[in-house]
Amino acid sequence: MDTRLLKTFTALARTGSFTAAAAELQLAQSTVTVQIRTLEKALGARLFDRLSRGALLTEPGQRLLVLAEEVLEAESRLFAAATDDGPVTGTVVVGAGETLCSAHLPRVVAALRGLHPDVEVHLQPCGTGNAVEGLRAGSLDCALLLEERVDFPDITAEHIASQPLALLCAPDHPLAGRKQPVTWQELGRESFFLHEQGCSYSDWLARRLQATEGAQPRLTRFGSIEAARSCVAAGLGLTILPLANVAESLSDGRLRTVPGPSLPDASVHLVRHSRRQPSRASRIVTAQIAHHFRSCRL
């Protein structure tokens, strides 16, 4: 149904006069008459009694008026939602691995609550494969990936940061006091507690150790970086983690960096589905995520 007919109907109901309704709507009086007749024909009901003193709503017209106003209000909200006017509202689901969820995204959520209190952010811990699947299924609005390269069909990736990595041990570990950098051959004889398979920087270190001639590292994988960090703090071995995830542990002396071979940075990519139109809330969230990573020091 053409909502212009409902606008004419509500104007006539409010003014009670074809002349007044025409003036309010900036239409010819004959146009108002035609539109009311068209609406009555479409609904199969007489909506007004035409009296000498004006137009008076019939009983069906009275029932229609409430519904017509609801339809016009819904139409107004629909157009408002399609523009950038008014407060931003909505729920945005962000996928990310534990490394980023624990060290960075809480600060992003806190900043958003101050700037846009009506935007809800739900964090969904997931690896690269599940993140891509979630974007394609529509269960995720965006995701953060710690990958050197991101190349998936239908996925748009934006490199937003590089996370410096650190080789870590307990303060009383024999390698903690080394003045000379540790070699790959020496590291190949150590025990390592690493994040689960699928973690890009842990997988890189495992491949590099296993490619070292004569190396026989002992590798233990955990589904939680906190578990790996706790084992290392207890003096059981080494690990590799982004500095952002261990800044507090380094500051209070629970962990120490191991001088050793240079490590590559871990690349952070913000990814979205290339064919999905992001909501206003989603655009706000991704902009805040990008701002956080580009302005933070770790």
Dihedral, 251, 254, 255, 256 alpha carbons, nearest 10: 70
Contact 101, 131 (CB under 8 A): no
pLDDT tens per residue across span 174-207: 999 788 999 999 999 999 999 998 899 999 999 9
Using the predicted structure, report yes or no on whether residue 62 has a pLDDT greater than 80: yes
Using the predicted structure, report yes or no on whether residue 264 has a pLDDT greater than 90: yes
Task: Report if residue 86 sits inside a domain.
Answer: no
Same structural domain, 144 and 281: yes
Task: Report if residue 225 sits inside a domain.
Answer: yes
DSSP 201-259: HHHHHHHHHHTSTT---EEEEES-HHHHHHHHHTTS-BEEEEGGGTHHHHHTTS-EEPP
Dihedral, 144, 150, 153, 155 alpha carbons, nearest 10: 30
pLDDT at 80: 63
pLDDT tens per residue across span 2-22: 889 999 999 999 899 999 999
pTM exceeds 0.75: no
Last residue of a domain, one of 81, 100, 135: 81
Task: Report if residue 196 sits inside a domain.
Answer: yes
Residue 106 lies in domain: 91-158+273-295
Residue with tokens 């960075």: 104
Distance from C-alpha of 138 to C-alpha of 52, rounded to nearest angstrom: 59
At residue 81 the predicted structure's pLDDT band, cuts being 50, 70 and 90, is low
pLDDT tens per residue across span 166-180: 999 999 999 997 889
Three-state secondary structure of 247-273:
HHHHHCCCCEECCCCCCCCEEEEEEEE
- CATH number of the domain to which 26 belongs: 1.10.10.10
Number of domains composing the chain: 3
- CATH number of the domain to which 121 belongs: 3.40.190.10
